[in-house]
Amino acid sequence: MMENRHTMKDANPLAAWPQFMEAVRLRMEKARQAYGDASFSRPLAELAGEVEEELLDVCGWAFILWCRIAAIRSGCPNGAYKACKTHQSSRAMILRQGRVIGAPRTS
């Protein structure tokens, strides 16, 4: 988990680019300390596999966040998706109606 979280201090989102790149650099340095520079000589297929796994992780975390936002918008405090009694009864309806911005609508 990242220790430093970025907050937008400027109306221009690109103003945050240097902080984003610094966060990437720090993440890579942390991995370098743990694993060395071996990734730079790994076969391309292995690297592509690593990226694929990471993208699947990002999608999975995005789905979890999407569910938590749905819970908050339906009245569950803190987005406690599974624990919220209000949301348990309306979860299918919320997802079916696509009440979350960007949520896919189902028939």
pLDDT digits (tens, 9 = 90+) for 33-66: 999 999 999 999 999 999 999 999 999 999 989 8
Residue 69, domain extent:
14-97
In a domain? residue 39: yes
In a domain? residue 73: yes
Q: Provide CB contacts within 8 A for 49, sequence distance 6+.
A: none
Long-range CB contacts (within 8 A, 24+) of 88-96? 94/70, 95/70
* Per-residue pLDDT tens digits for 9-25: 778 889 999 999 999 99
pLDDT for residue 107: 41
Q: Provide CB contacts within 8 A for 94, sequence distance 6+.
A: 70, 73, 74, 87, 100
In a domain? residue 107: no
Domains contained in the chain, number: 1
pLDDT for residue 72: 85
In a domain? residue 105: no
* Per-residue pLDDT tens digits for 70-89: 888 888 877 776 666 655 55
In a domain? residue 52: yes
